[in-house]
Structure 1
Amino acid sequence: MAHPDFINKNMFGAVNETRVRVYLTCGFIAMIILLIDFATPLGVASGIPYVAVVLLSLKSPEKHFTLLVASICTFLVGVGYLGSPPSDIPMYQVFANRLMVILVIWVTAILTLIQRNKVLELHQERLKRIQSIKEVEIREEKLRVLKATMRTVQDITGNFLNNLYYFKFEIETNKTLSPESVKKLDALIQDTSLRIDKLGSLDEIREKRMAGNRIGIDYEHSAKDADTISRKY
């Protein structure tokens, strides 16, 4: 079984590797978009592809990274304006196109973060439901085992009490027990005690059908398995 520290170290390494890969990919794509923007005349909304960088940033385990990417892309839109070749388009259209790109970037970032939070909340709710279902199943299993154990105890004690009627009848008839009956009574007490000890010393729960089609604990079978293992070793 893997050590918890080793598992946590591997998980941290995987998360860190994902973070670095997303950082490098976002930076590489953003640079390509900026170079394309430099080669495109003013007035063309060539900064729209920055939306893809914002969407890609969602793969990062850090929620605030998306906001950082949106801010950097906004800055690059301004850099692209300064480095793009001039055109015959009026400047108000150029500014309008740049503002539209910035608006799209931030609307995309905000909406995707809202969606991400909703997905996270749904995931947390799902985990809670699964945990609740598991707890219910565990309680039901414990109750089922408890009932089977109590039926088994009732079967053992019931068998003991039924045999006592024989000795009661002998005492009422003869006013005493014969030496042979005393030995039988001792054997009955020891056998009943042994059965209860076996039931209380189980390492594994196995069920069996008892009288009346009831479910009980197969303490004899488990005890035989334990004896077989002890003889082997």
Structure 2
Amino acid sequence: MAHPDFINENIFGTTHETRVSVYLTCGFVAMAVLLVDFMTPLGVASGVPYVAVVLLSLKSPEKRFTLLVASICTLLVGVGYLGSPPSDIPMYQVFANRSMAILVIWVTAILTLIQRNKVLELHQERLKRIQSIKEVEIREEKLKVLKATMRTEQDITGNFLNNLHCFKFEIETNKTLSPESVKKLDALIQDTSLRIDKLGSMDEVREKRMAGDMMGIDYEHSAKDADTVSRKY
């Protein structure tokens, strides 16, 4: 089983690598869009491709990074305006195109963040539902094992009490137990005690079908497995 510290280091390393990869990708795409904007005459909505940078930023686990990217892209839209070659298009159209690009950038950022939050909420609910199902299954399995253990315990003690009736009948008839019966009683007590010890010292629970089509614990089989393992070592 992996050590918790080792798992945490792997998770941290993977998250760090993801962040660096997203940062580099967003930076590269943003610079590419800015260069295209510098080569495109004013009036063309060259700032709209920055939406791709905003969408790429969603791969980062940090929500603030998307807002930061949207802010930087907004700034780059203004930088692109200053560095783009002039054109014959009226300035109001140029400002309208740039404003439209900024609006698209922020609408995309806000809507994607809202959708991201909803997806995270659904994921958390799904995890809680799975956890609840697992807890129910564990409780049902524990109850099943408990019932099987109680049935096995009842079977062991029931056999013991049934055999005691024979000794009771002998005592009532002869007012005492013969030496042979005493030996049988001692053997019965030892056997019952041994069975209870086996039932209580199992390392693995295996079920078996008992009388009355009920499920019990196969403590004899588990005891044999334990003896086999102990002999190997």
TM-score range, shorter chain: over 0.9
Aligned residues: percent identity? 89
Question: Shift in Å at residue 7 of structure 1?
Answer: 1.4
User: Partners in 1 of 2:83 and 2:174 — Cα distance?
Assistant: 119
What do residues 121-140 of structure 1 show as CA deviations (whole Å, max 9, x unaligned)? 11111110111011001100
Runs of at least 5 residues in structure 1 that lack an aligned partner in the other structure: none
Distance in 2 between residues matched to 1:78 and 1:151, nearest whole Å: 80
What SS is found at the alignment partner of 2:212? Answer: helix
Alignment partner, residue 116 of structure 1 = 116
Deviation at 1:2, TM superposition (A): 2.1
Equivalences for residues 12-91 of structure 1 within 5 A: 12-91=12-91
Deviation at 1:115, TM superposition (A): 0.4
Deviations 1:3-49 (A, max 9, x none): 21111111111110110011011011101101111111111101110
SS of residue paired to 2:43: coil
User: Following TM superposition, by how much is the alpha carbon of 1:213 offset from its aligned partner in structure 2, in angstroms?
Assistant: 1.1
Separation of aligned partners in 1, 2:6 and 2:216: 42
Give the corresponding residue for 1:148.
148
TM-score, scaled to structure 2? 0.98
User: 1:176 deviation in Å?
Assistant: 1.4
Which runs of 5 or more structure 2 residues have no equivalent in the other structure?
Answer: none
Q: What code does the residue aligned with 1:224 have?
A: K
- In structure 2, the residue corresponding to 1:216 is in which secondary structure? strand
Query: Which portions of structure 1, spanning 4 or more consecutive aligned residues, are displaced by more than 4 angstroms?
Result: none
Give how far 1:182 is off. 1.1
| Number of residue pairs matched by the alignment | 233
Equivalents in 2 of 1:105, 1:20: separation in Å? 22
Amino acid at match of 1:87: S
Q: What's the counterpart of residue 128 of structure 1?
A: 128
Match of 2:208, SS state, is strand
Partner amino acid for 2:22? V
Show the counterpart of 2:164. 164
Q: Distance in 2 between matches of 1:65 and 1:15?
A: 14
Q: Which residue of 2 aligns with 1:178?
A: 178
- In the TM superposition, residue 177 of structure 1 has moved relative to its aligned partner by 1.2
CA RMSD, Structure 1 to Structure 2 (Å): 0.8
Q: For 2:150 and 2:5, how far apart are their aligned partners in 1?
A: 42
3-state SS of paired residue (1:208):
strand
